[in-house]
Amino acid sequence: MTEQNDKMSKDGVSRRSFLGKTSAALVAAASLPIVAAAQQTRDLSGDTHTGVNEQERGPKNPSLEAQEPDSMFPPTTDAGGQPPFKYPMGFARKRIEAGGWTRQVTIRDFPLSKKMAGVEMRLIGGGVRELHWHVGSEWAYMTAGSARVTAVDQKGRAFVEDVKEGDLWLFPGGVPHSIQGLGEDGCQFLLVFDDGNFSEYETFLLTEWLHHTPKEILAKNFGVDASVFKNVPKEKFIFPTELPRSLAEEKKQVYAVTGPVPDTYAFYASTMKPTKVTAGGSVKIVDVHNFPITGIAAAIVTLKPGGLRELHWHPNADEWQYFVKGTARMCVYAAAGRARTMDFHPGDVGYVDQSMPHYVENIGDDDLVFLEVFPTAEYQDISLGEWLSHTPSRLVDEHLGTGEEFLAKISKSEVVVTPEK
């Protein structure tokens, strides 16, 4: 809010700072120039929002309000009834099992998130998310530790790999798979699904399927005695067990006869060279062009303090966001005179509808890292700067009145993260 407040002090009193805290302050201010009156109002307590019209006399939730200053005191450019586009993972109910825990944010929790849903999961060392599958594709990003992931495709070809913090995977819809925490402390990761109605608690589970299949049918299917299946549980979901055998040993076992999947389901983004680097930060784009199996595109964005994910929009898909670390401010313009600014912290989920322009700014003292995820195979965006720089400058100037000299200096290439130099 500092830049906004500095601007307010130069431009004059705002609707927020017009009134002082007491009638004495108002009388004194009446004899001063407007700018000086505004400054005196701020000086009363050191708080920039001290006007009588800004006071809260009723119930407060200070801890929550402190996390959302741009809703408490919105920029004067905000307007209209744009609904919230943020939902903290911390609001989601956590299901805790012996092998770890999980929680989710779906359209049921976050109505704006129509086309995507997200799940956070923690697995202890050896903890397993049991063998299962689901209709939608699963895109995952490792936020801590390491895991072993397995899958088998429609031709019986196998996949087994280890992934660590900063890596990701993609399991196409219908492909059965598992996840297991490695090492002493296991892992934590984010899952994103290309279906807002997805539920982590309604997946197709190996144990549940066999539990609900008559034992004589199982025996007939495998040509064994029905007693083989006497210990099949109703559900395991997330459970503790021993660590897996070595990766080399397990690969040798599962690749027998049919071999590995032709296109890997893992992508080692932790060692990927950034797609774009500027003075303001960097971005790694992972989509079908460098990860052929994926039907879900993503960008891993790092902004240095003060850095800006430039003004832009995505013409081909909605954007689902997850904030990994740092503190951010995002403004979304929704047309029809509507715009809203909100603040984001680690663990927050954001959502921006297709083609709605927005920016993300690092307002903290540390690097900001967040994910942009899209239910489409190809990453696409259009930046404001690139649009203006490739439109006749006279035409643009007639719209904006900025002068053609300014327009001539805009980069002809998309900057992505500012400042560029």
Q: Is residue 24 part of a domain?
A: yes
| Rounded Cα gap, residues 208 and 250, in angstroms | 25
Q: Is residue 64 part of a domain?
A: no
In this structure, what CATH number is given to the domain that contains residue 205?
Answer: 2.60.120.10
Of 267, 287, 302, the residue at which a domain comes to its end is 267
Instruction: Determine whether the annotation assigns residue 132 to a binding site.
Output: yes
Exposure pattern of 9-35 as b/e (b: 16+ CB <10 Å)? eeeebbebbbbbbeeebeeebeeeeee
Q: What distances in angstroms separate CA 301 from CA 14, 36, 166, 321, 402, one per listed residue?
A: 35, 42, 12, 10, 30
Share of the chain above pLDDT 90, in %: 85
311 shares a domain with 228? no
Instruction: Determine whether the annotation assigns residue 211 to a binding site.
Output: no
262 shares a domain with 283? no
Give the mean model confidence (pLDDT) for residues 26-35: 36
| Rounded Cα gap, residues 214 and 230, in angstroms | 11
Instruction: Determine whether the annotation assigns residue 134 to a binding site.
Output: yes
The pTM (predicted TM-score) of the whole model is 0.87
pLDDT of amino acid 47: 61
| Rounded Cα gap, residues 281 and 302, in angstroms | 5
| Rounded Cα gap, residues 409 and 385, in angstroms | 10
Exposure pattern of 145-157 as b/e (b: 16+ CB <10 Å)? bbbbbbbbbeeeb
Q: In sequence order, which residues have a C-beta less than 8 Å from that of residue 6 and are 6 or more positions away?
A: none
Q: Is residue 63 part of a domain?
A: no
pLDDT of amino acid 34: 33
Q: Is residue 116 part of a domain?
A: yes
Whether residue 35 is predicted with pLDDT greater than 60 in this model: the reply is: no
Q: Is residue 62 part of a domain?
A: no
213 shares a domain with 132? yes
| Rounded Cα gap, residues 137 and 125, in angstroms | 26
412 shares a domain with 299? yes
253 shares a domain with 301? no
Instruction: Determine whether the annotation assigns residue 314 to a binding site.
Output: yes
Confidence of residue 104 (pLDDT cuts 50, 70, 90): very high
Instruction: Determine whether the annotation assigns residue 138 to a binding site.
Output: yes
Q: Is residue 166 part of a domain?
A: yes
How far is residue 324 CA from its own chain's centroid? 8
Give the mean model confidence (pLDDT) for residues 25-45: 36
Give the mean model confidence (pLDDT) for residues 151-173: 98
Closest of 158, 387, 389 to residue 254, by C-alpha: 158
274: tokens are: 């950034």
397 shares a domain with 332? yes
- Count how many domains the chain has: 3
Confidence of residue 50 (pLDDT cuts 50, 70, 90): confident
| Rounded Cα gap, residues 328 and 368, in angstroms | 7
241 shares a domain with 319? no
Q: In sequence order, which residues have a C-beta less than 8 Å from that of residue 81 and are 6 or more positions away?
A: 338
Return the SS3 of 152.
strand
Q: Is residue 339 part of a domain?
A: yes
Which range is least confidently modeled, 47-51, 211-215, 333-337?
47-51
Whether residue 7 is predicted with pLDDT greater than 80 in this model: the reply is: no
Instruction: Write down the residue that tokens 């397995």 correspond to.
Output: 150
Give the mean model confidence (pLDDT) for residues 108-114: 97
Which range is least confidently modeled, 23-27, 228-232, 251-255, 392-396?
23-27
Give the mean model confidence (pLDDT) for residues 339-364: 98
Q: Is residue 76 part of a domain?
A: no
pLDDT of amino acid 144: 98
Q: Is residue 138 within 8 Å of residue 167, measured between CB atoms?
A: no
245 shares a domain with 306? no
Q: In sequence order, which residues have a C-beta less than 8 Å from that of residue 78 and are 6 or more positions away?
A: 70, 331, 339, 340, 341
DSSP bridge partners of 350: 86, 321
Of 55, 82, 100, the residue at which a domain comes to its end is 55
Kindly report the average pLDDT of the chain as a whole number: 90
Share of the chain above pLDDT 70, in %: 89
Of 219, 242, 267, the residue at which a domain comes to its end is 267
pLDDT of amino acid 295: 97
Confidence of residue 48 (pLDDT cuts 50, 70, 90): confident
DSSP H helical ranges for 164-308: 206-211, 215-222, 247-254
> Which amino acid is it at 155?
K
357 shares a domain with 238? no
Q: Which residue has the higher pLDDT, 400 or 52?
A: 400
pLDDT of amino acid 49: 80
Active site residues: 372
Backbone angles phi, psi at 64, to 5 degrees: -70, -45
Task: Show the domain range for 411.
Answer: 273-418
Whether residue 3 is predicted with pLDDT greater than 70 in this model: the reply is: no
DSSP bridge partners of 191: 119, 140
286 shares a domain with 408? yes
pLDDT of amino acid 324: 98
- Going by their DSSP bridges, the two strands 276-278 and 281-286 should be labelled as antiparallel
Q: Is residue 312 within 8 Å of residue 381, measured between CB atoms?
A: yes
pLDDT tens column, 116-155: 999 999 999 999 999 999 999 999 999 999 999 999 999 9
246 shares a domain with 141? yes
pLDDT of amino acid 129: 98
Q: What distances in angstroms separate CA 295 from CA 137, 170, 180, 315, 375, one per listed residue?
A: 8, 8, 24, 17, 7
Closest of 252, 215, 247, 245 to residue 231, by C-alpha: 215
250 shares a domain with 121? yes
> Which amino acid is it at 13?
V
Whether residue 38 is predicted with pLDDT greater than 50 in this model: the reply is: no
Whether residue 33 is predicted with pLDDT greater than 70 in this model: the reply is: no
Whether residue 43 is predicted with pLDDT greater than 80 in this model: the reply is: no
| Rounded Cα gap, residues 252 and 26, in angstroms | 81
| Rounded Cα gap, residues 17 and 39, in angstroms | 9
